[in-house]
Amino acid sequence: MSQPLLEIRDLHVAVDGKPILKGVNLTIHRGEIHALMGRNGSGKSTLAATLMGHPRYEVTRGEVLFEGQNVLEMEVDERARAGIFLAFQYPVAIPGVSVANFLRSALKSLHGEEMSAREFRNALKAEFKALHMPDGFASRYVNEGFSGGEKKRLEIVQMGMIKPKLAILDETDSGLDIDGVRIVSENVNRIASEDTGVLVITHYQRILRYIRPHFVHVMVGGRVVRSGDESLAHELEQRGYDWILQEVGAEEKTLQEVG
Amino acid sequence: MGNTLMTSPAGLDLIDGISRHLNEPEWACTFRREAWRRFMETPIPSPKHEHWRRTDISHLNLDSLAPSVPGSSPALPAWLEDVIRGRSRRIGGTLAFSDGAPVYNHIADSVRRSGVLFADWAEAIQRHPDAIRRALEGADYDPADEKLTAMARAYATGGAVLIVPRGVKVTLPLRTFFTVDGARAVFPHTLVILEEGSRVTLLDGMLSPDLSTPVFGSGVADLILGEGAELTYVLFQQWGRGMEYFHHQRAVLGRDSHLTTITVALGASVSKATIESVLCSPGAVSDMLGVVFGDGDQHFDHHTVQMHMVGNTTSDLLFKVALDERSYSAYSGLIRIDLGAQRANAYQRNENLVLSRHAHAETLPNLEIEANDVRCTHGATVAPVDPEQIFYLMSRGLAPRDAKRLIVEGFLQPVLDRISAKSLRDMVSEKVDQKIASRRL
Ligand SMILES: Nc1ncnc2c1ncn2[C@@H]1O[C@H](COP(=O)(O)OP(=O)(O)O)[C@@H](O)[C@H]1O
Ligand SMILES: [Mg+2]
């Protein structure tokens, strides 16, 4: 098989000295859609933020390779330029900075050369239209006074403008109504080409009805404890997470007894 | 250009000389003499005084400073000509002064025809002596500033006067520029009189290149709003390094008048301003806004006063300060609501964005409220750049420096957006962005 797009090996991460991720392994190839599921507090956002390089998350062990390159040595903006994109669970407001100005600066930093003003305006207009947002949002300040759903849509507008190689969507479905989930999903499918890797973080199955994953992983206590195909998501939807917790608990007990 | 070393009574000769040169009427000369006497009698402010605690000027030898010799005729510096011509579209008129003397004026025909007076001091005092006399006699500055305001009154040579007649709404904004070109002291003076129901926007620009020898400045701006008048006044301060500049602005608001003042402070080594709105008739509304961006060793000290003398008056204030390197800013704001000024509304907010470990911001709100049926809120923040904002922007590919630059621009932008005249807003925004872009951050 070709070189993976993303390879996470035995990743351990601590925040303020407190271990959160305890040995995550995950490999994503070009064109694959992976879903990462798990209860609140299981460490999904920690993984997402670590992949993007948030300075508060300290990697204590393991490695992360993106197209074979050591990501952990790269600054946040270098990772973005390498092709990693994170749709934030809680997008940040930047008061006084218009969406258009922000995206213009972002594209300039990402691609070096500048798009013509007109080309840029048209591209942005098209993305807003696709996400069913009025283009008036271009002159609004980034995420300021946006509803939860508008923030999530704006993340996907950005993904559409940036066209990353790897898109990590951290609970993009939360805060969206049924139509919102459908619109956002259709756009993710449109933007993601055959070569794009997608990591969809969610704890509901509903977004996975539209963005259909090739692989589903379940995170518990900072580790990926189960991986499977789409059917694993269905099973979680029907049975909840408790059975996995029990199975994992039993396995750990056995391990301890054996050890 | 000369700088006269002054000792009494040679001082009085100089005062009389200025007055004669400007062809002033007798009363104006007397007025200068009185101001000069107060200047000489008032001791230099002590750093022990609350108002001068954060900006110590006790080392300045003010008595040795004087305006340029009247009669010298400075020219319009080429760089200032570029500033003026660079953005001359959709401007109703421009006056420029260098070393206290008028060096440029252009007034659009439409403005001239509407009966507006926009002229330098010497011309204005010939045409409207009574209005100017009333305005000067009514001026009543903070006693803590007496030394410097009296000095400014005594020595003002150049100065701009704007009188908008009753009911006239000037749609194109007006500008004045004051600069120095060799003088060691400047005393800018701006007088704005808006008659009943009139409306205008004026930008007062104080700017120069960096100065190789220190220059001192003390300027006054008197803004008088008649009933129902609307004034937007922008103080744009971008003196070069080497300037120590003191500004005293006092607005008096008549019934149902609306004042918007926007103070933009980018320049000078030391600058201190008192910015006062006196709401003395019901229905008056004062919006005071400010933007400060400091770097290097710059020192800023802004004191605002929202003075509600009667009820049913509203004042709002937003001062935004961003500080880089070793710069310093003090903001102190007084809201005063007199006994009997019922149903007054007063709001005040000061936000400080500290970009460097060595920069320092102080904020000192002060409320003196004697009426009991009022609405009054105030708030202040002093904070570094939010690392979550930096992370968000960097995750979209922006280098740390560009992320910071965008955040600072965005922080200041909402105030600049309040300059409704696009031609002025673009000019000021460009200067602010240029200064931000020149920083390493
Ligand atoms: N910045 C942080 N500071 C302190 N604790 C954190 C921080 N981020 C995550 N945690 C802790 O790490 C654990 C995992 O959180 P998170 O990654 O947000 O989970 P999920 O996204 O799966 O809900 C939680 O116990 C949370 O409290
Ligand atoms: Mg999360």
Query: Is pLDDT of A155 > 70?
Result: yes
Q: A86 and chain B: CB distance < 8 Å anywhere?
A: yes
| H or E element at residue B199 | strand B199-207
Nearest Cα residue in chain A from B394: A77
Average pLDDT over residues A40-61: 97
A162 alpha carbon – ligand 2 mean position (Å): 23
Mutate to test the interface with B, among A92, A110, A166 (most CBs of B within 10 A): A92
Query: Is pLDDT of B1 > 80?
Result: no
Question: What is the rounded distance in angstroms from the CA atom of residue B29 to the CA atom of residue A130?
Answer: 72
Mapped onto helix, strand or coil, the DSSP state of residue A48 is: helix
Name the pairing type of β-strands A33-37 and A197-202: parallel
A219 alpha carbon, closest ligand: 1
pLDDT range class, residue B86, cuts 50, 70, 90: confident
Model pTM score: 0.89
Query: Is pLDDT of B134 > 80?
Result: yes
pLDDT value at position B338? 97
The alpha carbon of residue A179 is apart from the nearest alpha carbon of chain B, in Å, by 27
pLDDT value at position B2? 38
The alpha carbon of residue A94 is apart from the nearest alpha carbon of chain B, in Å, by 7
Query: Is pLDDT of B8 > 60?
Result: no
The first and second tokens of residue B434, run together, are 């240029």
Query: Is pLDDT of B136 > 70?
Result: yes
The first and second tokens of residue A12, run together, are 């351990």
> Quick check: is A224 in a domain?
yes
DSSP string, B22-91: TT--HHHHHHHHHHHHHHHHSPPPPTTSGGGSSS--TT--GGG--PPPTT------HHHHHHHHHT-TT-
| H or E element at residue A160 | helix A148-162
Residue B195 DSSP code: -
What is the count of structural domains for chain A?
1
Task: Identify which of B396, B409, B410 has the shortest CB distance to residue A106.
Answer: B396
Q: Peptide bond before B9: cis, by omega within 30 degrees of 0?
A: yes
Q: Supply the mean pLDDT for chain B.
A: 93
Query: Is pLDDT of B6 > 60?
Result: no
> Quick check: is A160 in a domain?
yes
Residue B225's nearest CA partner among B174, B278, B185, B173 is: B278
Question: What is the rounded distance in angstroms from the CA atom of residue B365 to the CA atom of residue B304?
Answer: 10
Our answer on whether the CB atom of A38 is closer than 6 Å to any ligand 1 atom is yes
Query: Is pLDDT of B3 > 50?
Result: no
B115 vs B141: which has the higher pLDDT: B115
Q: What is the CATH number of the domain that holds A37?
A: 3.40.50.300
Rounded to two decimals, the ipTM of the complex is 0.96
pLDDT range class, residue B5, cuts 50, 70, 90: very low
What percentage of chain B has pLDDT greater than the value 90?
A: 88
Average pLDDT over residues B289-296: 97
Query: Is pLDDT of B441 > 90?
Result: no
Task: Determine the structural domain holding residue A182 and report its residue range.
Answer: 6-258
Are the beta carbons of A96 and B409 separated by less than 8 Å? yes
> Quick check: is A1 in a domain?
no
Question: What is the rounded distance in angstroms from the CA atom of residue B200 to the CA atom of residue B168?
Answer: 9
Mapped onto helix, strand or coil, the DSSP state of residue B215 is: strand
> Quick check: is A102 in a domain?
yes
